[in-house]
Structure 1
Amino acid sequence: MPPEGKSYPFDHLPAIDYDAHPAYGRVMSMPMLGARLKALSIFGYGFLLTSAQRAIDVEHLPRPAQGGKPLITVLRGLPTYLRLILLQRLSRFTAGRAYAPKTERGTAVFVPLQGDGFAVVRLGNDVIAQIRTQLAPQLKTLEQRATPAGDPDSSRIWVDPASAPDLYRWFNQTAADLGLTEAASAYLKRPVGVGHIAAEVVDAPGAPPASPFADVGVDASPCDGFKVDLGYNAMKLVIYLDEVGPANGPLTYVAGSNRAATRFGDALIRRANDLCGLSSRLQAWRETFYALPAGLQRKASFGADLVADSNFATAIQSHQVAVTSSEGNAVLYDPAGIHRDAAPTQGRRTAVIVRFTELSR
């Protein structure tokens, strides 16, 4: 847990001077008009996309079934989606303090969650064993892949609620018994439940990963991997199924950074750049990103761009908390805060990723 009185010192997410950055402004020429227009057009697409997702609160709508065509599924279910959107807006408007914790367990989770952005809990061995049993097919498939960090699509398998309703009921009951659902609802000020479950197996790479800026001779940042998530108004729970030490990719959270991630416009810009690919560290994409106006040069996955001796890098390193198995085997956290997850340098991490969202009614 974070030391008493220690918390992320800024009231906003890291701002990076790309003109002075050794992998951007220092090695790139001044963008021409055509490059600027191209960058703005790509950003505009990302901005429209993230604005639409934000307007309908897509994180809290039922996900299309695996294997189906998302657009067709959405069009067929449009009346249902519209009803859900209206009901969710109404329930939030009338909620008030209805979701404040009412039990000791819920309060015990909510207090550190509200203050630091994360709360550590310990599940019993029987609960971990039951999770392993219920997710055995997914875990077996993932263990055979031996996927290194950095490829979440291959290292995770999402469990479709329609195909595993009993599993979701069990997770929702367990989360409620532990006070997690109560704390998540109080934090988000809306009724939430377990809406997304994914099994995850991540292996350490065979060799240390190269710097994303190796092409210009710039070393990797000590903050590489730190980010804020693209979603909105959701909570995440990571459950370790094996022992996780400092080298096995524990969830690392910057205490108090959840309070710095509340600027609406800043969040839209960061998510727009990530959604349309402008956060890529490939040289061509770096040049396109650098062609954006300075006010739009922000990323959700910003960790690799933080210069080692900058104020923000120092603040992140000073206030980061790596949650290992010695503290607990589950962490409920606000993914809008600064965090790094599943980046093992040794061995393997086996975990379950749970997302709390508003459930369909």
Structure 2
Amino acid sequence: MQSEGKSYPFDHLPAIDYDAHPAYGRVMSMPMLGARLKAISYFGYGFLLTSAQRVIDIAHLPRPAAGGKPFAALLRQLPTYLRLILLQRLSRFTAGRAFAPKTERGAAVFAPLQADGFAAVRLGPDAIAQIRTQLAPQLSALEQRTVPGGAEPGRIDVDLAANPHLYRWFNQTAADLGLTEASSAYLKRPVGVGQIVAELAEAPGVAAASPFADVSVDASPCDGFKVDPGTNVLKLVIYLGEVGPDNGPLTYVAGSNRAATRFWDGLIRRANDLAGLSSTLQSWRETFYALPAGLQRKASFGADLVADSAFAAAIQSNQVELTSPKGNAVLYDPAGIHRDGVVTHGRRSAIVVTFTELPR
């Protein structure tokens, strides 16, 4: 079994006692009324944004062309967007088992995806070579852009309008591998390749400091673990070279996809992330701590998990490092607990594909 018998034991995402946290309640005074009102206003802004995005289902609508005027494009495509929103909700309501896998290849990917939240697959050397050829301009641009020691990987979004042939090729390749069929079965709706991103990450020149170094608190062993705030999408990461434990494998907590299904919990976590309240900088920590306890939740929560907590132990015990020997591509549910590739030595070159509903 690809998860090695591991399974996240909780039915909800990690809950953190910030009053007892060494970088929050233990070193911060009780928030005054002004600080609480400021925190609520920030959260309210994030909550309005995430609620609007959830209502219009923005993750499943066509993206405006790169370099265009987003607001003008939105107005021009508004009738199309309204039609898509209605059709998508209707199709989800009536889906049932209509998208269950019908081929052995699709079923082979769907079974581990449903059980663990991820499925490791292997693309042949010809497919990897073709991806490198197809995305040669983007990969070359990343080589020129990447600066050793940078904290964030270089990323280039591949624009659909400018590169329709790339999207056609990736859609065909994903269908041939059973990935599209498995994704449709998992999400219970027809999906395809909605976004392609080229990434290049290099190891930093010096070891990263603890996010709580200002209060002399060591970094959590779970630093970097998170859930993506988007909903009802799947991602496929394709390694373009060998990836071992030190050069950025995706790490996934097996079975945690089943713990990320609480509606209000998801809204609160996304609202805090959109409002900037997930930052570990001291000023933002103080604002976040001023929130009512019921709103103290983050999508990017890994840094805040203390090493001796039950949730930290569960994540460490049930994480799976998806290195090249397991597969040179991984299809996964980003709503589950995962950590994107952290490069400590060498570099990682990869393509990240998002499966979502396409215009019909």
TM-score (norm 2): 0.98
**C-alpha distance in 2 between matches for 1:287 and 1:88:** 41
Q: 1:355 is matched with which residue?
A: 354
Is the contact between residue 110 and residue 182 of structure 2 (CA under 8 Å) also seen in structure 1?
A: yes
Q: 2:236 is matched with which residue?
A: 237
**C-alpha distance in 1 between matches for 2:71 and 2:314:** 42
Structure 1 segments (4+ residues) deviating >4 Å: 147-150
Is the contact between residue 225 and residue 303 of structure 1 (CA under 8 Å) also seen in structure 2?
A: yes
Q: 2:187 is matched with which residue?
A: 188
Q: 1:94 is matched with which residue?
A: 94
Residue 202 of structure 2 is aligned to residue 226 of structure 1: no
**C-alpha distance in 2 between matches for 1:64 and 1:45:** 24
- In structure 2, what residue type is equivalent to 1:41? S
Is the contact between residue 202 and residue 348 of structure 1 (CA under 8 Å) also seen in structure 2?
A: yes
**C-alpha distance in 2 between matches for 1:39 and 1:123:** 47
Q: 1:35 is matched with which residue?
A: 35
- In structure 2, what residue type is equivalent to 1:246? P
Residue 96 of structure 1: how far off its partner (Å) = 1.5
Cα 1:202–1:165 change in 2 (3 A) is: same
Q: 1:3 is matched with which residue?
A: 4
Identity of aligned residues (%): 80
Q: Deviations over 1:288-312 (max 9, x none)?
A: 0000000000000000000011100
Where 1:113 maps in the other structure, the secondary structure is helix
Q: 2:80 is matched with which residue?
A: 80
Cα 1:338–1:43 change in 2 (3 A) is: same
Q: Deviations over 1:12-31 (max 9, x none)?
A: 00000000001000000000
Where 2:13 maps in the other structure, the secondary structure is coil
Residue 150 of structure 1: how far off its partner (Å) = 4.4
Q: 1:306 is matched with which residue?
A: 305
Q: 1:138 is matched with which residue?
A: 138
**C-alpha distance in 1 between matches for 2:198 and 2:346:** 17
Residue 330 of structure 2 is aligned to residue 331 of structure 1: yes
**C-alpha distance in 1 between matches for 2:136 and 2:347:** 17
Q: 1:340 is matched with which residue?
A: 339
Is the contact between residue 211 and residue 220 of structure 1 (CA under 8 Å) also seen in structure 2?
A: yes
TM-score (norm 1): 0.98
**C-alpha distance in 2 between matches for 1:69 and 1:34:** 38
Q: Deviations over 1:178-219 (max 9, x none)?
A: 000000000000000001001100001111101111111111
- In structure 2, what residue type is equivalent to 1:322? E
- In structure 2, what residue type is equivalent to 1:112? P
Q: 1:120 is matched with which residue?
A: 120
Where 1:288 maps in the other structure, the secondary structure is helix
Q: 1:51 is matched with which residue?
A: 51
Residue 142 of structure 1: how far off its partner (Å) = 0.8
Is the contact between residue 151 and residue 204 of structure 2 (CA under 8 Å) also seen in structure 1?
A: no
Where 2:349 maps in the other structure, the secondary structure is strand
**C-alpha distance in 2 between matches for 1:32 and 1:120:** 50
Bigger Cα displacement from structure 2, 295-304 vs 90-99? 90-99
Is the contact between residue 254 and residue 321 of structure 1 (CA under 8 Å) also seen in structure 2?
A: yes
Is the contact between residue 249 and residue 340 of structure 2 (CA under 8 Å) also seen in structure 1?
A: yes
Q: How many residues align?
A: 358
Residue 77 of structure 1: how far off its partner (Å) = 1.2
Bigger Cα displacement from structure 2, 142-151 vs 77-86? 142-151
Is the contact between residue 22 and residue 218 of structure 1 (CA under 8 Å) also seen in structure 2?
A: yes
- In structure 2, what residue type is equivalent to 1:193? G
Where 2:324 maps in the other structure, the secondary structure is coil
Write out aligned runs for 1:57-68 (5 A).
57-68=57-68
Residue 47 of structure 1: how far off its partner (Å) = 0.5
Is the contact between residue 277 and residue 285 of structure 2 (CA under 8 Å) also seen in structure 1?
A: yes
Bigger Cα displacement from structure 2, 313-322 vs 83-92? 83-92
Is the contact between residue 251 and residue 341 of structure 2 (CA under 8 Å) also seen in structure 1?
A: no
**C-alpha distance in 2 between matches for 1:252 and 1:265:** 26
Is the contact between residue 225 and residue 301 of structure 1 (CA under 8 Å) also seen in structure 2?
A: yes
**C-alpha distance in 2 between matches for 1:249 and 1:42:** 33
- In structure 1, what residue type is equivalent to 2:246? A
**Structure 1 regions of 5+ residues with no counterpart?**
none
Where 1:105 maps in the other structure, the secondary structure is helix
Q: Deviations over 1:71-127 (max 9, x none)?
A: 222122111110111111121122221100000000000000000000000000000
Q: Deviations over 1:310-347 (max 9, x none)?
A: 10001000000000001110000000000001211000
**Structure 2 regions of 5+ residues with no counterpart?**
none
**C-alpha distance in 1 between matches for 2:145 and 2:30:** 44
**C-alpha distance in 1 between matches for 2:69 and 2:296:** 33
Where 1:74 maps in the other structure, the secondary structure is helix
- In structure 1, what residue type is equivalent to 2:60? H
Q: 1:197 is matched with which residue?
A: 196
- In structure 1, what residue type is equivalent to 2:152? D
**C-alpha distance in 2 between matches for 1:95 and 1:270:** 28
**C-alpha distance in 2 between matches for 1:215 and 1:126:** 49
- In structure 2, what residue type is equivalent to 1:106? G
